[in-house]
Structure 1
Amino acid sequence: MPNGRSVLLAAATQAFANDGFKNADLRGIAAAAGVSPNLVRVHFGNKSKLWEVCLDAIVETVKPTMAEVAEIAGDDQKTLVERLRGIVACLAVFFASHPEVREFVTRHFADTPERASLVTNRLSKPAYETCREVFAAGIQAGIIRSAHPALFFALLSRASSQPASFPMLLSSLAPEIDTDVARNLMTETIVATLIHEPASVSVCPEAGQ
């Protein structure tokens, strides 16, 4: 297959995300990709190398969104509330399009220290740094109610990265919610819950005299 490597890589990423490194099976990955198991050794050598290439691919997948978040965070033409809302919306769109990233990261945070460290240093820390300063500014302004930007980042990441089955799960709880708009409603709920408009200062007439 001319695209055998990319198909195999996609199947491997999904397997590592769903089952973790230990339980992911090379024969099962090859079968899911519709290729020969020998193709794993031809292109990647072994399971560890295959996992590392999957991580490389995820990093490349995440980079455009990190750049977009950094651009939103640094846009001085927008208010702090507008920038924070934009970041929430950006993350929600990304995770809806790439649910395997959430699962991959979650699985391997609890993996061996070596793999957990790779995921942290190559994905989580760079992603956090793109929005750390704007989150700190939000906390200082009282827009974000958190003791530390990292706590808010962790909460926002988890809230934004609902699984692919989320619309159906929500529908089972509330059939009146259309599955087609479930994710948009969730994003609106995250914004309303986590991003607080600064209190307006009212001036009584007597004070102005």
Structure 2
Amino acid sequence: MSEGQDGSAPRRGRRTADAPAGRDALLRAATRCFADNGFEAASVRMIASRAGAAPNLVAVHFGNKEGLWLACVDLLTETFAPTIAALTAMANDAKTPLRERLRLAIGMTAGYYDRQPDLRGFVARASVEPPPRSEIVSERLLKPLYEAACPLIRQGIDAGIIPIDDPAIVFVILNLSLGQPDRVASALALISPGHPVEETAIRMGEALSQLLLNGNER
């Protein structure tokens, strides 16, 4: 627990004047706790402690832990919206060469996941949990993202740029490879020390572009 400005520990459930509102703080803390521990292991008390809030605020704002988890999904759905819009715009951009648009999309995805550790962890954890949580994450987060990316991927396949003929496989390869830059960085450090951790996402995006976009554009 962090100390107050006078060196004393802050009182449980009390927030400083410049701290985020209780609901927002609980949402951010819950997203991180669910990402790190999964739904069952992330207790209300753990989430409240990380948020610096009283546990009863979960019931006040969300009803229960399930309601809090669903509110996290709502928040992440909003977070995905600009990326979905950008992918749709790239697919409809007839002025920019297709290969360049594909490279931009891969780079954007790498950078996005690199900047959103809570989101990527939440999705990765929830996608392997039992229904209904895995189904909710699939329907509300993964499928809308795939539906936005699919037309651009299909264009790359049809043009002979992407050498894999299944858009879903391409999508999964990209998102699994780019969606956990921290784990990739750890693996690189184990097998080949010296790789700059802060450059992992960029280098992975460049590597995937080279691997996936080596076909000939017709």
Global fold match (TM > 0.5): yes
> 1:178-197 counterparts in 2 under 5 A?
178-197=196-215
Q: What is the match of residue 148 of structure 2?
A: 130
In 1, Cα distance between equivalents of 2:41 and 2:201: 31
Q: What is the match of residue 205 of structure 1?
A: none
**What are the superposed Cα offsets for residues 64-98 of structure 1, whole Å, 9 maximum, x if unpaired?**
11111221222111111111111101100110011
**Deviation of 1:191 (Å):** 0.7
Give the alignment's Cα RMSD to 1 decimal: 1.8
Given the alignment, which residue of 80, 84, 96 partners 1:66? 84
Aligned-pair identity (%)? 38
**What are the superposed Cα offsets for residues 120-161 of structure 1, whole Å, 9 maximum, x if unpaired?**
111111111112112112112221122311111111111111
In 1, Cα distance between equivalents of 2:152 and 2:192: 35
Q: Which amino acid is 1:126 matched to?
A: P
**Deviation of 1:183 (Å):** 2.4
**Deviation of 1:52 (Å):** 0.3
Q: What is the match of residue 66 of structure 2?
A: 48
In 1, Cα distance between equivalents of 2:111 and 2:55: 34
In 1, Cα distance between equivalents of 2:94 and 2:182: 34
2:116 counterpart of 1:116 = no
In 2, Cα distance between equivalents of 1:43 and 1:197: 52
Any idea what SS the aligned residue of 1:75 has?
coil
**Deviation of 1:197 (Å):** 4.1
The answer to whether the Cα contact below 8 Å between 1:69 and 1:130 also exists between their aligned partners in 2 is yes
**Deviation of 1:166 (Å):** 3.9
Q: What is the match of residue 34 of structure 2?
A: 16
Q: Which amino acid is 2:71 matched to?
A: V
Tell me the TM-score normalized by structure 2: 0.85
**Deviation of 1:169 (Å):** 4.2
Any idea what SS the aligned residue of 2:74 has?
helix
**Deviation of 1:167 (Å):** 3.5
Q: What is the match of residue 12 of structure 2?
A: none
Q: Which amino acid is 1:52 matched to?
A: L
In 2, Cα distance between equivalents of 1:54 and 1:162: 19
Q: How many residues align?
A: 200
In 2, Cα distance between equivalents of 1:40 and 1:93: 32
The answer to whether the Cα contact below 8 Å between 2:157 and 2:164 also exists between their aligned partners in 1 is yes
Unaligned runs of 5+ in 2: 1-14
Q: What is the match of residue 146 of structure 1?
A: 164
In 2, Cα distance between equivalents of 1:18 and 1:39: 21
**Deviation of 1:172 (Å):** 4.0
Tell me the TM-score normalized by structure 1: 0.88
Structure 1 stretch displaced more, 153-162 or 164-173: 164-173
The answer to whether the Cα contact below 8 Å between 1:108 and 1:119 also exists between their aligned partners in 2 is yes
**Deviation of 1:195 (Å):** 1.4
Q: Which amino acid is 2:61 matched to?
A: H
**Deviation of 1:102 (Å):** 2.0
Given the alignment, which residue of 121, 134, 159 partners 1:103? 121
In 2, Cα distance between equivalents of 1:99 and 1:146: 29
